[in-house]
């Protein structure tokens, strides 16, 4: 595996990110919404790129809410590159940016059926917060998870 570089998204990356989004989720965000997130939160929209090939294989996007709550809106890795630590690298990089912005809590939503994602979040330190019934368009529930930032895990 070549070296993975995590960097801020550029507008020309959105097509590739949208393709990864479409291939990763049953109900993907439309391109227009990804472009909105790009405009809203460019510094917190990151891509994983195989370097030096400059091939984007994953992304993560976050937004700051209520001044000190980081919200991970979406994360996905190209299915051909899953299980190689790319998702963990994306999350760690975004957590660092949230910490720089003085976020104290990080939150995300995940399907109960997405065991691989839940295992990753658990390893990073997220804990289950509450269940939202029938959250997704297909009627599946949603698990919300949070990570409290304190001095002990600030530099992990």
In this structure, CATH architecture of domain 3-148: 3-Layer(aba) Sandwich (3.40)
Q: In this predicted model, what pLDDT tens digit does every residue of 8-53 receive, in sequence order?
A: 999 999 999 999 999 999 889 999 999 999 999 899 999 999 988 8
Domain ranges of the chain: 3-148
Under a CB-based contact definition with an 8 Å cutoff, are residues 17 and 30 in contact?
A: no
pLDDT by 10s per residue, the chain, length 156: 469 999 999 999 999 999 999 999 988 999 999 999 999 989 999 999 998 888 999 999 999 998 899 999 999 999 999 999 999 999 999 999 999 999 999 999 999 999 999 999 999 999 999 989 999 999 999 999 999 998 555 544
Packed helices 31-41 and 14-24: angle between N→C axes, nearest 10 degrees: 120
125/77 Cα distance (integer angstroms): 20
Ranges assigned E (strand) in the chain = 3-8, 45-51, 55-65, 69-77, 105-110, 127-132, 142-148
pTM score, two decimals?
A: 0.90
C-alpha closest to that of 86 among 152, 20, 12, 153: 20
């Amino acid at each position: 595996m070549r070296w993975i570089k995590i960097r801020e998204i550029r507008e020309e990356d959105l097509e590739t990110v949208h393709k990864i989004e479409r291939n990763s989720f049953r109900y993907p965000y439309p391109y227009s919404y990804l472009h909105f997130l790009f405009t809203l939160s460019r510094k917190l929209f990151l891509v994983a790129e195989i370097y030096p090939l400059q091939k984007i294989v994953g992304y993560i996007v976050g937004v700051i809410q209520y001044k000190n709550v980081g919200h991970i809106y979406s994360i996905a890795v190209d299915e051909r590159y899953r299980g190689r630590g790319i998702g963990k690298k994306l999350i760690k990089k975004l957590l660092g940016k949230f910490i720089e912005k003085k976020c104290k809590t990080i939150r995300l939503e995940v399907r109960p059926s997405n065991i691989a994602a839940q295992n990753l979040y658990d390893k990073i330190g997220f804990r289950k917060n509450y269940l939202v019934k029938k959250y997704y368009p297909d009627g599946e529930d949603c698990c919300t998870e949070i990570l409290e930032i304190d001095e002990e895990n600030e530099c992990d």
